[in-house]
Amino acid sequence: MPAASRQPPVRLATRAIILREGRLLLVNAWKGRSHLWCAPGGGVEPHASLPDNLRREVHEETGLDVAVGAPCLVNEFHDPTGPFHQVDIYFRCRLLKGDPDGDWTDPEGVVSMRRWVTRAQMAALRVKPDSLAAVAWRDPGAPAYDPLEPILR
Protein backbone atom coordinates (compact mmCIF):
# COMPACT_ATOMS: atom_id res chain seq x y z
CA MET A 1 0.00 0.00 0.00
CA PRO A 2 1.47 3.42 -0.89
CA ALA A 3 2.52 5.52 2.11
CA ALA A 4 0.15 8.35 1.19
CA SER A 5 -2.91 6.09 1.42
CA ARG A 6 -2.03 4.34 4.69
CA GLN A 7 -4.54 4.84 7.45
CA PRO A 8 -3.62 4.61 11.12
CA PRO A 9 -4.83 1.44 12.78
CA VAL A 10 -8.21 1.33 14.46
CA ARG A 11 -7.73 2.36 18.09
CA LEU A 12 -8.94 -0.13 20.72
CA ALA A 13 -10.06 1.13 24.12
CA THR A 14 -11.74 -0.23 27.24
CA ARG A 15 -14.33 1.59 29.34
CA ALA A 16 -15.93 0.95 32.73
CA ILE A 17 -19.58 0.96 33.69
CA ILE A 18 -19.45 1.63 37.44
CA LEU A 19 -22.74 2.06 39.30
CA ARG A 20 -22.84 3.15 42.95
CA GLU A 21 -26.10 3.74 44.78
CA GLY A 22 -27.96 3.98 41.47
CA ARG A 23 -25.51 6.50 40.01
CA LEU A 24 -23.15 6.02 37.07
CA LEU A 25 -19.60 7.37 37.09
CA LEU A 26 -18.85 9.74 34.19
CA VAL A 27 -15.70 11.67 33.34
CA ASN A 28 -14.99 14.57 31.01
CA ALA A 29 -14.10 13.21 27.59
CA TRP A 30 -11.53 15.83 26.62
CA LYS A 31 -8.86 17.67 28.53
CA GLY A 32 -10.24 20.75 30.29
CA ARG A 33 -13.70 20.48 28.76
CA SER A 34 -16.98 19.58 30.40
CA HIS A 35 -19.35 19.67 27.42
CA LEU A 36 -18.98 15.95 26.66
CA TRP A 37 -19.06 13.11 29.18
CA CYS A 38 -18.19 9.41 28.89
CA ALA A 39 -17.42 6.37 31.02
CA PRO A 40 -13.86 6.20 32.38
CA GLY A 41 -11.30 4.19 30.43
CA GLY A 42 -8.90 4.55 27.56
CA GLY A 43 -6.61 3.03 25.00
CA VAL A 44 -5.20 -0.44 25.46
CA GLU A 45 -1.50 -1.11 25.69
CA PRO A 46 0.01 -4.19 24.03
CA HIS A 47 0.78 -7.30 26.09
CA ALA A 48 -1.76 -6.52 28.82
CA SER A 49 -5.23 -8.05 29.00
CA LEU A 50 -8.28 -5.89 28.38
CA PRO A 51 -9.28 -6.08 32.09
CA ASP A 52 -5.73 -5.13 33.17
CA ASN A 53 -5.77 -2.18 30.77
CA LEU A 54 -9.14 -1.09 32.13
CA ARG A 55 -8.05 -1.33 35.78
CA ARG A 56 -5.03 0.84 34.95
CA GLU A 57 -7.07 3.43 33.05
CA VAL A 58 -9.80 3.68 35.70
CA HIS A 59 -7.19 4.17 38.42
CA GLU A 60 -5.35 6.84 36.38
CA GLU A 61 -8.53 8.72 35.49
CA THR A 62 -10.39 8.46 38.80
CA GLY A 63 -8.05 7.22 41.53
CA LEU A 64 -10.39 4.26 42.06
CA ASP A 65 -9.63 0.54 42.03
CA VAL A 66 -12.21 -1.70 40.39
CA ALA A 67 -12.97 -5.36 39.80
CA VAL A 68 -13.62 -5.85 36.09
CA GLY A 69 -16.62 -7.97 35.24
CA ALA A 70 -18.27 -9.07 32.02
CA PRO A 71 -18.24 -7.06 28.80
CA CYS A 72 -21.58 -5.36 28.16
CA LEU A 73 -21.16 -3.13 25.09
CA VAL A 74 -19.04 -2.77 21.98
CA ASN A 75 -19.19 0.76 20.56
CA GLU A 76 -17.54 2.16 17.43
CA PHE A 77 -17.03 5.77 16.51
CA HIS A 78 -15.05 7.54 13.83
CA ASP A 79 -14.31 10.82 12.11
CA PRO A 80 -16.07 10.55 8.73
CA THR A 81 -13.79 13.26 7.32
CA GLY A 82 -10.52 11.95 8.73
CA PRO A 83 -8.62 8.80 9.65
CA PHE A 84 -9.76 8.41 13.28
CA HIS A 85 -11.69 5.21 14.13
CA GLN A 86 -12.03 3.76 17.64
CA VAL A 87 -13.65 0.64 19.07
CA ASP A 88 -14.56 0.78 22.77
CA ILE A 89 -15.30 -2.35 24.77
CA TYR A 90 -17.33 -1.60 27.90
CA PHE A 91 -17.16 -3.81 30.99
CA ARG A 92 -19.32 -3.85 34.08
CA CYS A 93 -17.09 -2.99 37.03
CA ARG A 94 -17.40 -2.96 40.80
CA LEU A 95 -15.73 -0.41 43.04
CA LEU A 96 -13.12 -2.05 45.30
CA LYS A 97 -11.34 0.86 46.94
CA GLY A 98 -10.61 4.54 46.71
CA ASP A 99 -12.61 7.61 47.65
CA PRO A 100 -15.43 7.84 45.09
CA ASP A 101 -15.98 11.51 45.94
CA GLY A 102 -12.42 12.55 46.81
CA ASP A 103 -9.76 14.47 44.97
CA TRP A 104 -7.33 12.85 42.56
CA THR A 105 -5.08 13.86 39.68
CA ASP A 106 -5.00 12.10 36.33
CA PRO A 107 -1.26 11.66 35.62
CA GLU A 108 -1.91 12.20 31.90
CA GLY A 109 -3.92 15.36 32.59
CA VAL A 110 -6.86 14.35 30.41
CA VAL A 111 -9.58 13.74 33.00
CA SER A 112 -10.10 16.67 35.33
CA MET A 113 -13.76 16.17 36.24
CA ARG A 114 -15.81 13.22 37.34
CA ARG A 115 -19.37 12.94 38.54
CA TRP A 116 -21.82 10.31 39.71
CA VAL A 117 -25.16 10.77 37.93
CA THR A 118 -28.61 9.27 38.06
CA ARG A 119 -30.25 8.24 34.82
CA ALA A 120 -32.44 11.36 34.99
CA GLN A 121 -29.41 13.63 35.50
CA MET A 122 -27.58 11.89 32.66
CA ALA A 123 -30.45 12.73 30.29
CA ALA A 124 -29.59 16.43 30.66
CA LEU A 125 -25.91 15.89 29.74
CA ARG A 126 -24.14 15.39 26.43
CA VAL A 127 -22.89 11.81 26.81
CA LYS A 128 -21.35 9.36 24.38
CA PRO A 129 -22.13 6.77 23.28
CA ASP A 130 -25.84 7.39 22.88
CA SER A 131 -26.60 3.89 24.21
CA LEU A 132 -24.63 4.31 27.48
CA ALA A 133 -27.62 4.93 29.77
CA ALA A 134 -29.64 2.06 28.32
CA VAL A 135 -26.72 -0.34 28.76
CA ALA A 136 -25.69 0.89 32.21
CA TRP A 137 -29.12 0.52 33.80
CA ARG A 138 -30.31 -2.64 32.09
CA ASP A 139 -30.04 -6.09 33.60
CA PRO A 140 -26.78 -7.79 32.65
CA GLY A 141 -27.15 -10.07 29.70
CA ALA A 142 -25.61 -10.49 26.31
CA PRO A 143 -23.32 -7.63 25.28
CA ALA A 144 -24.86 -4.95 23.08
CA TYR A 145 -23.38 -3.64 19.85
CA ASP A 146 -23.58 0.06 19.12
CA PRO A 147 -22.94 0.60 15.39
CA LEU A 148 -20.44 3.03 13.95
CA GLU A 149 -21.30 6.64 14.77
CA PRO A 150 -19.57 9.92 13.90
CA ILE A 151 -17.25 11.50 16.47
CA LEU A 152 -18.51 14.60 18.26
CA ARG A 153 -16.33 17.68 18.56
The tens digit of pLDDT for each residue in 49-62 reads 999 999 999 999 99
Return d(Cα 72, Cα 90) in angstroms, integer. 6
pLDDT per residue, tens digit, the chain (153 aa), is 455 567 889 999 999 999 999 999 999 977 766 789 999 999 999 999 999 999 999 999 999 999 999 999 999 988 899 899 999 999 999 999 999 998 888 888 888 889 999 999 999 999 999 999 999 998 777 677 777 777 776
pLDDT at 11: 94
Return the pLDDT at 41.
96
Half-sphere exposure of 17 (CA within 13 A, CB side): 26
Quote the pLDDT of residue 5.
62
111 phi and psi angles, rounded to 5 deg: -85, 125
Q: Tell me: the pLDDT tens digits for 21-50? A: 999 999 997 776 678 999 999 999 999 999
Question: Given this model, what pLDDT does residue 1 score?
Answer: 45
Of 151, 114, 152, 120, the residue nearest 136 (C-alpha): 120
The Cα angle at residue 147 between residues 4 and 86, in degrees rounded to 5: 40
Under 8 Å between Cβ of 144 and 135: yes
Can you give the pLDDT at residue 124?
95
Quote the mean pLDDT of the chain.
Answer: 89
